[in-house]
Structure 1
Amino acid sequence: MTSSFESTGKILKEAEDFLTLYIQETGLSEDWLHKRLNDIKFAGSYNPTTEELVFGAKVAWRNSNRCIGRLFWKSLHVIDERNLQTAEEIFHALIRHIRYATNDGRIRPAITIFKQQRVRIWNDQLIRYAGYEMSEGLIGDPYSIPFTKVCMELGWRGAGTPFDILPLVIQVGDSKPSLFEIPEEIVLEVNIRHPQYKQISQLNLKWYAVPIVSNMKLSIGGVEFKAAPFNGWYMGTEIGARNFADVNRYHLLPKVAEAIGLDTNSNMTLWKDRALVELNAAVLHSFKEDGVSIVDHHTAAQQFQLFEKQEEQEGRKVTGNWSWLIPPMSPATTHIFHKPIENLIKKPNYFYQNRPF
């Protein structure tokens, strides 16, 4: 759906549902709602005001079933950039987002929203490492191989290291996508080391500070914003137990086990578990020592429990995707593992969309 709906009835339904929620939570009157809906009906489309956009983006985070960090939904900083027209203007807005969110390591949750239907950002995240298929094997992040090939077809040439920052690819309307390099100086990265096992630092690992998701669309009142990159801060296991450890990502557990002297000849030694714990400990230690915001999965689960209590006090039912909410390491040590939760989708919300390439 876009601002051009199939029928006035369809326009009013989602817009009315959203704006009814808006007045309920902001204290506006029924008279205001009736006038607003009459304006939408007359216009034949719904174009959220900046105030409605801010509210909708925050509630979309509150409704995000896969996110364990929803306690902080009210703190989301919403940047309305729907007036921008060119790929270059959009690129500069994305750079501003990266700078604002990074904040010298004191990460700030933010979302930048561009004109509905007109803008697509081809990157899965604004900052991500490239992946290469080389004669000597895979280098970098295997997940990024398809997009890396796209960037190279558009003229980009990476250095061929395990941690090359991919460029931004921006498309406006039906025009050819434009490629922009991200200035190195604005990308904050953390070198990974362990407080006890110095051998882990010899693996020369690092990770970027801010996960800015850019492949999801934001749906508010029936209007879909296909370019609305947003970020919180990392939970440690996202890096240590997934990006670094997954066999289809950097697949580092064997190297970590070897570095710290674990017996990998038998599963009975639990070498994978031990390597996983130490790798995650290294991630948390490194981010903390560098003053970069991060949360461990136990604290994140406690924060989610507080979010549940706050929502209950407000009379709202918490929904969630259990398989995403449980952390990928020691999930049974959190209350979420033992608690059923309904995976009911509510709007406003963020939704995955097909890759444009």
Structure 2
Amino acid sequence: MATTTSILHERIDFLTLYKKEMNQTEEWLKKRLEEAQHPDFILTTDELTYGARVAWRNSNKCIGRLFWNSLNVFDERQLLNEAEIYEALLNHIDFATNNGKIRPAITLFEPDRVRIWNHQLIRYAGYDMADGIVGDSDSLEFTKICESLGWRGARTHYDVLPLVIQVDDREPIFFDIPKERVLEVAITHPEYDFSRLNMKWYAVPIISSMRFNIAGTDFPAAPFNGWYMGTEIGARNLADTYRYNFLPKVAEAMGLDTTMNASLWKDRALVELNVAVLHSYKKAGVSIVDHHTAAQQFQLFQVQENKSNRNVTGNWVWLVPPLSPATTDLYHERIANTIKKPNYFYQQQPY
């Protein structure tokens, strides 16, 4: 099958950018552009590594792009056996976790034949029980998928879902993640007693449901991670009413008046829940960043990009933190939400 014009243009754009930023010669570019004309053109590991890092740099919804050039890239395109892919995913979890000193990483699998069904490599299950939802309500559908494949959870609030891997049109296979491979953090507060709430969260957010797009090629199986910003856990995962909905219980533990909105009990509980998350992760020695520091880091990223004569793009709605947004300079900025490639994009679920 001939290479389409649009794919060829994306290959040319990427290779030209690679030549410029990686200081390649004109001879190198000429040779690679000739090779790019062929349908079976394949990117090298070095090109993929650079492209994955630039995709992070181009990720408009990410506030943590200052560290884009530190992304560790694992090229596993040769793996087409489910058990071997599972081992590679465990290796990614181990490398990224690093005893709490989180390292940003991405693992790339064969673009046309491998899919990972999970939203994140580590994620809690959700069960729709007779007396309400147990666990993460955001995982209800995928938990049912896992159960249809034969998996059974313990029906607790924090059951780690299995990894579900599919190669070609074969039936997907699930693999349990050994408990010792998942680092979790118990959420406590330096002043209030939150022990009765039994809150915890996992250390590393490894997104596995997005496709990595580079030079006209989609990599549907490309799990990647940075580290958590505190509000992702404290203002969303544990606080959202449609997730774990802990704010009323936090307010009760703090002795707040929840009978009227004007007491601002939700605001006060939200702040202290976020204090607890940051306190707990730091106490456990697990990398995390508060939203004020993250906003300052994004400003440094903007300075760096301007010095490199690159326009910074971003999605304002995502960049502004969900807690006290007006206290960050980002709140007062307007950034063009222009999409650049390489990049990471949403994709249709495989189920």
TM-score interval for Structure 1 and Structure 2 normalised by the shorter chain:
over 0.9
Q: Secondary structure at 1:78's aligned position in 2?
A: strand
The answer to whether residue 127 in structure 2 is matched with residue 132 in structure 1 is: yes
Structure 1: state its 5+ residue gaps.
none
SS of aligned partner of 2:244 = coil
CA contact (8 A) 2:119 2:207 kept: yes
| 1:242-273 deviation line (CA, Å, top 9, x unaligned) | 00111110011111111111000111000000
Match of residue 300 from structure 1 = 294
2:17 aligned residue (12, 17, 21): 21
**Count of matched residue positions in the alignment of Structure 1 and Structure 2:** 351
- The aligned residue for residue 218 of structure 1 is 212
| Deviations, residues 43-75 of structure 1 (Å, cap 9, x unaligned) | 323311001000000000000000000000010
Query: Which position in structure 2 is the counterpart of 1:339?
Result: 333
The equivalent of 1:76 in structure 2 is 71
Matches within 5 A, 1:263-278: 263-278=257-272
What is aligned with 1:177?
Answer: 172
The answer as to whether partners of 2:60 and 2:337 remain within 8 angstroms in 1 is: yes
Q: Return the letter of the residue paired with 2:284.
A: D
Q: Is structure 2 residue 176 aligned with structure 1 residue 192? A: no
Residues 10-53 of structure 1: CA distance to partner in whole angstroms, max 9, x if unpaired? 33211000000000001101221111111222x32331100100
Residue 118 (structure 1) aligns with: 113
In structure 1, the residue corresponding to 2:36 is in which secondary structure?
A: helix
Helix, strand or coil: the match of 1:356?
A: coil
Q: How does 1:47-62 map to 2 (within 5 A)?
A: 47-62=42-57
Task: Please report how far the alpha carbon of residue 8 of structure 1 lies from its aligned counterpart in structure 2 after TM superposition.
Answer: 4.5
Give, in whole Å, the separation in 1 of the partners of 2:149 and 2:262: 48
Cα distance in structure 2, aligned partners of 1:273 and 1:11: 49
Query: Which residue matches 2:101?
Result: 106
Whether the 8 Å contact between 1:11 and 1:45 is mirrored in structure 2 is: no
- Could you tell me which runs of 5 or more consecutive residues in structure 2 were left unpaired when the two chains were aligned: none
Q: What is the Cα deviation at residue 202 of structure 1?
A: 1.7
TM-score, normalising length: structure 2: 0.99
How high is the TM-score relative to the length of structure 1?
Answer: 0.97
Distance in 2 of aligned mates of 1:247 and 1:342: 31
- Which residue of 2 is the match for residue 229 of structure 1? 223
C-alpha separation in 1, matches of 2:69 and 2:39: 31
Residues 295-348 of structure 1 deviation map (CA, whole Å, 9 limit, x = unaligned)? 000000000000000000000000000000000100001111000000000000
Distance 2:301 2:289 in 1: 15
Q: Distance in 2 between matches of 1:37 and 1:206?
A: 51
| CA-based RMSD | 0.9
Give the Cα separation in 1 of the matches to 2:196 and 2:245. Answer: 16
Q: What is the identity, as a one-letter code, of the residue corresponding to 1:338?
A: H
The one-letter amino acid paired with 1:155 is G
How do 1:317-332 residues align onto structure 2 when only pairs under 5 Å count? 317-332=311-326
Provide the residue aligned with 1:291 in structure 2.
285
Identity of aligned residues (%): 64
Q: CA deviation at 1:201?
A: 2.0
